[in-house]
Chain A
Amino acid sequence: MKIISGINSGLVLWLLLISCNAAPGPETVTVTIDQMKYSPQTVTVHKGDTILFVNEDIVAHDVTEANGAWASPRLENGDSWKYVAEADEDYYCSIHLVMKGKIKVE
């Protein structure tokens, strides 16, 4: 019984060490679109992280890079769209020009 318990403890310790040494993989961070705002307005991520834009507003929106380098399709209520962040970028909604957001890569 004691032997089994010792093996289990060693296994748990080994798994803990593995998980501590593993490099953190890319994460997915959500930006909600609602009430005519991107929330958070400035999203801070690591290079390679995925940003998931989810439109919860009553009207359609999009996500367009400030200089037009990339753009999401039109996102109706309930639609979502993914973008992999590589650098700091500004974006806006090309349907509602007053809506703006920022991506900050650490």
Chain B
Amino acid sequence: MKTLTKKMIFKTGLISVFFLFAFSGLQAQSDSPQLNDAEIASVAVTANQIDVDYAALAKKKSNNKDVIRFAQTMQDDHNSVIKMATDLARKLGVTPQDNDVTQSLLSQSRTQTDLLNSKSGKDFDKTYIDNEVAYHEAVINSVETVLIPQSENQELKDLLTRIMPTLKSHLEHAKKLQRELK
């Protein structure tokens, strides 16, 4: 049992490092030229879309009703955030601008999707939920420490601030499922 727990902590740690690496472009840029608002909008929309895509995969592959229900919530909530972000960008006349961070996120998500596709049954559920815990931890950290401080437009800053409670509740929900799937 102890070995299992250690294995799980190790795996979760690996996934956390994986996503922190994906967001490392953000961290590195905090001391140098900042991300502009158009790039921040692109990162925000992409990060949400990636979780919507993971959720769609989970709904297709999982047989666990709690996991499926969680995935449905992720799909609905992150789609709401994407709509708010794109509506705001349209209102401000800003076109989300592709950048290295967006590309890094997409590249990492392709690797993670391949991993999820290779799993089935309880292994899939555990991998999906471990990933959700790590992904939300990394996103929360990046939104709090990089995206909000670097946003110049007050409405964009307010939107990013407003989504924080939602992200934190997703993390709590994912951690609860992670404990139950042990």
Contacts and interface: CB of A to CB of B under 8 A. Distances in A.
Given A58-B81, A59-B77, A95-B73, A35 B176 contact: no
Interface string A16-40: 0000000000000000000111000
A59 B173 contact: no
Chief secondary structure at chain B's binding surface: helix
Interface string B146-174: 00000000000000001101101100110
Interface string A29-61: 000000111000000000000000000011110
Interface residues of B, number: 15
A92 to B, nearest CB: 12
Interface string A54-94: 00011110000000000000000000000000000000000
A36 B166 contact: yes
Nearest to B72: A95
Contacts, number: 33
B84 interface: yes
B63 interface: no
A99 B169 CA distance: 8
Given A36-B168, A96-B73, A58 B162 contact: yes
Nearest to A34: B165
A57 B84 CA distance: 12
Contacts of B165: 35-37
Contacts of B176: 97-98
B177 to A, nearest CB: 9
User: Can you list the 4 inter-chain pairs with the closest CB atoms, starting with the nearest?
Assistant: A36-B165, A35-B165, A36-B169, A98-B172
28 contacts: A35-B162, A36-B165, A36-B168, A36-B169, A37-B165, A57-B166, A58-B80, A58-B81, A58-B84, A58-B162, A58-B163, A59-B76, A59-B77, A59-B80, A59-B81, A59-B166, A60-B76, A60-B80, A95-B73, A96-B73, A96-B169, A96-B173, A97-B173, A97-B176, A98-B169, A98-B172, A98-B176, A99-B169
